Amino acid sequence: MKEQKIPYKIYLEEQEMPTAWYNVRADMKNKPAPLLNPGTHEPMTAEELGGVFCADLVAQELDNTNPYIEIPAEIRDFYKMYRPSPLVRAYCLEEKLQTPAKIYYKFEGNNTSGSHKLNSAIAQAYYAKKQGLKGVTTETGAGQWGTALSMACSYFDLDCKVFMVKVSYEQKPFRREVMRVYGASVTPSPSETTEVGKKILAAHPGTTGSLGCAISEAVEVAVSNPGYRYVLGSVLNQVLLHQSVIGLETKAALDKYGIKPDIIIGCAGGGSNLGGLIAPFMGEKLRGEADYRIIAVEPASCPSFTRGVYAYDFCDTGMVCPLAKMYTLGSNFIPAPNHAGGLRYHGMSPVLSQLYADGLMEATSVPQTAVFEAAEQFARVEGILPAPESSHAIRVAIDEALKCKETGEEKTIVFGLTGTGYFDMVAYEKYHNGEMDDYVPTDAELAKFRDTLPKLG
Ligand SMILES: *Cc1c(COP(=O)(O)O)cnc(C)c1O
């Protein structure tokens, strides 16, 4: 084992935790494109957005200038229950791989919801409460976001209505029950409880649902019930802002020991954990103070960055949400069954999309059996049972460390370990039984969905 000058876990003291989120948009020369009204194709105003989202969150969504936004004391108190999260030096993985690379991971799975999503859920619940709302609505796929939001809402005594993609509702009853422990109501989507749900059911009887469809239902309920707003767990600028707490803590921990990463890796579904992890590092890059290689990892079955187009698209199937300019596969794209539920979204954060278009970060896609192979290799030496989503980042971190073994380079690699996989054991079972497939969509299939992008002016 290598000599240990750096501890296994670098923890921050409570007083070293960030007191403000970092807004990377303030340092971007090319700002992310604005959200557009789906009817008029004009930029959404704060007033229009206020009908759907909480007022303070709208202000954060539209803020392209303030680099730091103070984290309210109530949110910092909640963060203290499960943060700072550890930055772990993966000595055992390095040893196993026999690599000269130094590998670190920031572990966000140390809370009951099991992922980083709680960082934004608690912020969104706080602003809803502050506005005097009765409750919030949302969608959830595999259930991580719904679980995080239900915890956050119960803390602030808010009602929480979750539309859960029907296939997950039926196949993942445990996360559904965790949400109910925290007092949320959970409805399988599409449902007969909304107009858009009825329409989708009439057009596609027997459908098992999709994230885009659940979003449409949640938005409808929010706008048609006084005292309710809609909240979203990824993609939006405000969510990346809240998740910057991951990157700020990572940077503070590395700075304590004078460590400068060469490569920063994260999985990318809607882009929130990656956007948060890289935020302060990207800020340095944008200001010309430092350089880093930044890699987004996505599933080969849902390759928004690597095979999508950069265009305005709908965020949901029902086309009720604003249009966002992003790397997208088309809002009707339904990925082949992939066990990383959190990475199955058709689009990508507008902030990350702009950074990628400007050549400031890279992206790569990986097939799912290779991801589970990396997950298991990691679990056996580092102990933590990783979420399938997080394991996409593990795969590429291992691949980069193996390249260092060939070249003899002592690169420092940091990756985001976004969560734990205890509720994903069916996926692990499929992997063990050799029943996991690596379906990758053909160019012709992708082209079909691309044709459904909205045509603007
Ligand atoms: C939701 C989720 C992701 C992907 O979402 P991003 O917004 O891209 O970060 C990754 N890992 C876990 C564990 C998740 O729950």
Domains 3-16+83-114+237-450 and 21-70+117-230 share a fold: yes
The label of the residue with tokens 């690169």 reads 411
Pocket of ligand 1 contains residue 115 by CB under 6 Å: yes
Q: For residue 70, is pLDDT > 80?
A: yes
Q: Is 418 in the pocket of ligand 1 (CB under 6 A)?
A: yes
**What pTM did the predictor assign?**
0.97
pLDDT at 318 over 90: no
Q: How far is the CA of 4 from the centre of ligand 1 (A)?
A: 32
Give CA–CA dist 281/391, Å, rounded: 22
Q: What average pLDDT does the segment 290-301 reach?
A: 97
Does the beta carbon of 147 sit less than 6 angstroms from any atom of ligand 1?
no
CATH number attached to the domain at 3-16+83-114+237-450: 3.40.50.1100
According to the model, what pLDDT value does residue 288 have?
A: 98
Residue whose structure tokens are 């980069």: 400
Mean pLDDT of the chain: 95
Report the DSSP pairing between strands 263-267 and 412-417: parallel
* pLDDT average, residue stretch 159-176: 92
Q: Hey, what are 210's tokens?
A: 């999709």
The per-residue pLDDT for 315 is 87
Three-state SS at 263? strand
Residue with the nearest Cα to atom 5 of ligand 1?
Answer: 269
Instruction: Name the residue ranges covered by the structural domains of the chain.
Output: 3-16+83-114+237-450, 21-70+117-230
Number of H helices, E strands in the chain: 18, 15
Q: Per 3-state DSSP, what percentage of the chain is helix, strand, and coil (rounded to 5)?
A: 45, 15, 40
Distances (CA, A) of 384 to 50, 105, 114, 381: 41, 11, 12, 9
CATH number at 21-70+117-230: 3.40.50.1100
Kind of pairing between the strands at 228-230 and 185-189 = unpaired
Q: Which atom of ligand 1 is nearest to the CA of 234?
A: 7
- pLDDT the model gives residue 208: 85
Residue 349 CB–ligand 1 contact under 6 Å = no
Please, which pLDDT band fits residue 374 given cuts at 50, 70 and 90? Answer: very high
Three-state DSSP at 259 gives: coil
Distance 270 CA to ligand 1 centre (A): 7
The best mutation among 108, 111, 113, 116 to test binding of ligand 1, ranked by most ligand atoms within 8 Å of the C-beta, falls on 116
Smallest CA separation from ligand 1 atom 14, residue: 342
Say yes or no: CB of residue 315 within 6 Å of ligand 1: no
- Taking the C-alpha atoms of residue 305 and residue 202, their distance in angstroms, rounded to an integer, is 33
